Amino acid sequence: MLDAVFFNSKQNSLDLLDQTLLPGEIVTVRCFDEEQVADAIVSMKVRGAPAIGVAAAYGIALGLLNKANHQTSVADALNRVCKLLAGTRPTAVNLFWAIERVKKLVDQSAGNDFMAVAATALQEADRIKAQDIEMCRSIGRFGAEFLLDGQTWLTHCNAGALATAGYGTALGVFRAAKEQGKKFSVFIDETRPLLQGSRLTAWELLQENIDATLICDNMAGSLIRDGRVHGVVVGADRITSKGFVANKIGTYPLAVMAKYHGVPFYVAAPVSTFDLSLSYGDEIAIEERNHDELRFIGDKQTAPADIKVYNPAFDVTPPELITAIFTDRGVIRPIYKETIPAVIGAAEVFK
């Protein structure tokens, strides 16, 4: 199983598979402190809501091991490190969930021995990673029940092993279906502007020997109209208490087209992606990224340097367009405020 986020205990480093270079190069980035982890998250060397949560958890441990932070108290160093990591990307709630989980445990230890509290943080980061893998396996099993032999599904962006601790949410559904012996195929949106579909999802599905076909983003509607898509499944970066889903830009129009043509539209996400402190989509902070992501593809300029650009990284899909949400604790449908807490256990979710 692919391990894109790995703590190297011999080096006291966080080793990340650099996703900005895939599929052309397979390069490991080695982070020795919280600053390098934060940079890896911002630059999207590591990406995907669960994966950046796991990376941030390890980043806290590295921050406490970093001797540059030992000129102050553990509490002050912890607060600074957590603030740095929390400021990297605003939309994915898993980031804040993981940071709060590690910070709470370290705070409870109430010690000022940096090595001891770093060990506590590292153990919790290991638990978060292991639990994410198990959650994704459960998501995959629940979702695979909806994928029938001979069907073709479509997915957007990358919600696979690269975006998680190693198994995947949306792609976990395909992995689980393959493990069950089902025969199926997958259309992959390229996912502009950073091409996470063509660069990452296509690469992952080839590694898994899953029958996959790459399409341009603007081809999806025609395929759905022509009856060539039997289901759509995507991941999520944040889900509100009423079932509004923030995911990679381009998700919303897919959901509209699927609804119009009567094709099921599914979301796959662990409980750590739910934010019950929010109700509606307009409450979700949407990250806007560097404008050159649209002016360039890689190093090649494809638009005038002075053209104005709007580059939100995510959009929001309302619950009435979503057939079901696959979680590690079960399938949520219909998606109402009452059914989400009933399935995921409201008391355990980031509030």
Which positions are catalytic? 237
Would you say 55 and 68 are in contact if contact means Cβ atoms under 8 Å apart?
no
Contact 132, 164 (CB under 8 A): yes
Cα torsion angle, 151, 317, 240, 106, sign: positive
